[in-house]
Amino acid sequence: MPELPEVETVRRGLQSQTTGRTLEGGEVLLKRSLAYPLSVEQFSPWLAGDGIQAWQRRGKYLLAQLASGGWLGVHLRMTGQLFWVQRTEPLEKHTRIRLFFDQGQELRFVDSRTFGQVWLVPPGVPRESIITGLTRLGPEPFDPEFTPAYLQSRLQKTQRTIKAALLDQGIVAGLGNIYVDEVCFASGVRPEAIAAHLTLVQITKIHGQILAVLEEAIAHGGTTFSDFLNLLGVPGNYGDRAQVYGRRGQPCRVCGTAIERIKITGRSSHFCPQCQI
């Protein structure tokens, strides 16, 4: 699933390519990809003549502020992708929704496993009342309220592993499996460590590494291990820089010990048994 760096990479591409452009309508090719409240029949007429003022990101959600005062929301889920193309280009096999822009261009939502969703929020309606997942998100990693003290206050209340706690979008928005593994490695903490047992020194280091790892991943366009491509179809290259994720059996880049993989709450977790204690 695309995580914060991948979604932020897409947001920046959308901001560059689509803001200030006029929408001419759209097409829904798979009904379940369009979430409530609009019907498939309402989709194109509702968009026609509108425009995108700015793109925001909240956790793993992409949110377009429309000139009409409404919102367009997208969650890529497992395999969702957005591509900015000429309208004349042949449709990809798994194209689910198309947004038609002026000058013969379009934004395509492609999703092979069909878990992704698109929302259209009418003007005057709070976006959180339609895209209800937004109400369950914790602070963004780069927001001022996400401090070591805040993180400690949340972690000391749970007996879950640090891996499970950092995956909780209600604690911090945007982290997923790849970057939690990378953060734990950079912090020298095993992913199976109990969150409530961590010291303030450890939590402060985890907090700092969340910011550092995400900043580096964003700078390298995110990670591509399977499906992620940016708006123009280019893969991210952070995967080549990963310290532990996806490197089971390979030597640690720091100490040479073989990277191990275990399952924590059903998720694969990679770590170095020498560097993480």
Task: Name the catalytic one among 21, 77, 154, 267.
Answer: 267
Whose tokens are 């689910």? That residue is 96
Does 60 participate in catalysis according to the annotation? yes
Task: Name the catalytic one among 57, 60, 96, 108.
Answer: 60
What is the C-alpha to C-alpha distance for residues 224 and 10, in angstroms, rounded to an integer? Answer: 13
Q: Where are the alpha helices (DSSP H) in the chain?
A: 4-18, 40-47, 127-130, 148-155, 162-167, 177-187, 200-219
What are 9's two structure tokens?
A: 């990479």
Classify strands 52-58 and 61-66 as parallel, antiparallel or unpaired: antiparallel
Task: Name the catalytic one among 2, 5, 141, 191.
Answer: 2
Buried b / exposed e over 4-36, threshold 16 CB at 10 Å, is bbbbbbbbbbbbebbeeeebbbbbbeeeebbbe
Does 2 participate in catalysis according to the annotation? yes
Does 21 participate in catalysis according to the annotation? no
Does 148 participate in catalysis according to the annotation? no
What is the C-alpha to C-alpha distance for residues 188 and 204, in angstroms, rounded to an integer? Answer: 12
Q: How many other CB atoms sit within 10 Å of the CB of residue 238?
A: 26
Sign of the torsion formed by the C-alpha atoms of 189, 3, 212 and 64 = negative
The answer to whether residues 106 and 29 touch, using CB atoms and an 8 Å cutoff, is: no
| Neighbouring-strand partners of residue 269 | 262
DSSP run (H or E) holding 57: strand 52-58
Task: Name the catalytic one among 3, 6, 106, 182.
Answer: 3
The catalytic residues are 2-3, 60, 267
